[in-house]
Amino acid sequence: MKSKLNSVLLIDDDEPTNFYTQLIIEESGCADHIQVAQGGREALNYLSKTNQQNGEKRFPPPDLIFLDINMPAMDGWEFLDEYKKLHKDRQGKIIVVMLTTSLNPDDKAKANEMPEIAGFESKPLTEEKLNKILKEHFSGNFG
């Protein structure tokens, strides 16, 4: 039996995209928890919360983050700047994959230069793209 990821965090301001991405992840059965953040600030708030409250896991730390680039208030690049400032315990062993509609080659080049970004995928997320990401970054669990 395949093991599951603890949690996946979707950071995107587009509700239909989040709905569809969440559906793909749920149908794959690859994660115990899916958290949606409508933007970078909400995602940072989620990552900054304590993982324990009254002995119960309240905010499971994500193993995988899907991050959009183009969002109002705080875009994906600004989120990454703040994410890098988080204590290493808050970052964990998180795999960040850009999931974007951007066709700008500069965005892909910039993503490839950042060690925090493990992948760059175009929207929409598909079962094939998800399986590729899982095999590439979580091969011990999804070989």
The CATH number covering residue 14 comes to 3.40.50.2300
The domain in which residue 93 lies consists of 5-137
What does pLDDT average to over the chain? 87
Asked if residues 17 and 129 have their Cβ atoms less than 8 Å apart, the reply is no
| Residue 34 included in any domain | yes
The least confident of 4-13, 34-43, 79-88 is 79-88
Over 70: is that where the pLDDT of 106 sits? yes
7: tokens are 């949690």
**CA distance readout (Å), 75 to 19, 26, 72, 100, 124:** 20, 26, 6, 11, 18
Binning pLDDT at 50, 70 and 90, where does residue 60 land? confident
| Residue 143 included in any domain | no
Query: 26-40 pLDDT, tens per residue?
Result: 999 999 999 999 999
| Residue 54 included in any domain | yes
| Residue 37 included in any domain | yes
Q: Where are the beta strands (DSSP E) in 17-116?
A: 31-37, 52-53, 56-57, 64-67, 95-100
Rg value, the chain, Cα: 14
| Residue 142 included in any domain | no
Q: How many residues does the chain have?
A: 143
Mean pLDDT calculated for residue range 77-106: 84
Task: Report pLDDT for 94.
Answer: 83
Mean pLDDT calculated for residue range 91-104: 84
- Which SS3 state, helix, strand or coil, does residue 31 take? strand
What are the contacts of 22-26 at 24+ separation with CB within 8 A?
A: 24/124, 24/125, 24/126, 24/127, 24/130, 25/125, 25/130
Label residue 92 left, alpha or beta by phi (over 0 means left) and psi (-120 to 50 means alpha): left
- Domains of the chain: total: 1
Query: 114-137 pLDDT, tens per residue?
Result: 988 999 999 999 999 999 999 999
| Residue 29 included in any domain | yes
| Residue 64 included in any domain | yes
